[in-house]
Amino acid sequence: MTKNELPLSKDEILDAAEQVLRRYGPDKTSVVDIAKILQVSHGTLYRHFESKVALREAVTSRWLHNCIVMPLEAIASKTGGRAEERLRLWVETLIQTKRKFAAEDTEMFAMYATVTVIEVEMINTHVYRLIEQIAQILERGMANREFKQGDSDSLARAIFLATSRFHHPSHAAEWGVGSMTEDFESVWKLLLGGLT
C-alpha cells in the first residue's frame, strides 16, 4: 500500500495541519497544503472535516487542550499545600503560557486569537473548563477554611473575568507595555481580599 491508500486518523491530519499552519500561518494555509504533506487528495481531508474552518477549529481546540488546559489541570488537581498559593500559581501559569505562545508560537496564537472571535461555542467550552479548574481550587480552599464559603462557580467565573486583561488574546498588545505587573498585583489583592 502506498501512503495515499492508507486510512488517515484525525490525529495524523491535525498533526499535519498544525505543521502547515506554523509554516505558512493561518491566513495562507490551505487544505491542499495539508493534503500535500499527507500525500492525499484534499477530498480525503474533507471526509474527516467538512471545511477548512472546521479543520482550523479542531487544530485550535486540540492545541488549547494540550498546551493550556492540561498543564493547568495538573495545578488545579493537586492536593496539599495552600489553596491561595495554588490559585496564584494557576493564574500566573495561564498568564505566562499565553504570553509565551504570543511571543514564541505566533502562528498558533494568531489562529487562537482569530478563533476566539469566530468560534464562540468552542471558546466557551474552553473557558468553561478553565473556570471549572478555578472552582476546584476554590472548593478545596473553602473546605479547609482558607477561603470564605460561597458559590465556587460564580467566584471562579469572576476571577477568570477579572484577570482577563492579563491572559485574553485581545489584550496581547498590552502585555509587554506599562504597568502590567503592578496592575496584576492590584487585581490579585482585590480578589484575595474578597476570598479570605
- The answer on 164 and 135 residing in a single domain is yes
- The answer on 92 and 9 residing in a single domain is no
Sign of CA dihedral 13, 14, 16, 20: positive
- CATH code: domain of residue 123: 1.10.357.10
On whether residue 162 sits in a domain, the answer given is yes
- The answer on 165 and 82 residing in a single domain is yes
Number of helices (H), then strands (E), belonging to the chain: the values are 10, 0
Quickly state the pLDDT bin for 4 (edges 50, 70, 90).
low
Structural domain total, the chain: 2
pLDDT 10s digits, 37-81 = 899 988 888 888 888 888 888 998 999 999 999 999 999 999 889
Q: Is the pTM of this model over 0.85?
A: yes
On whether residue 161 sits in a domain, the answer given is yes
Exposure string of 24-52, with b = 16+ CB inside 10 Å and e = fewer, is: eebeebebebbbeebebeeebbeeebeeb
- The answer on 168 and 73 residing in a single domain is yes
Quickly state the pLDDT bin for 6 (edges 50, 70, 90).
low
- The answer on 64 and 30 residing in a single domain is no
- The answer on 40 and 84 residing in a single domain is no
Task: Give the domain range for residue 120.
Answer: 60-195
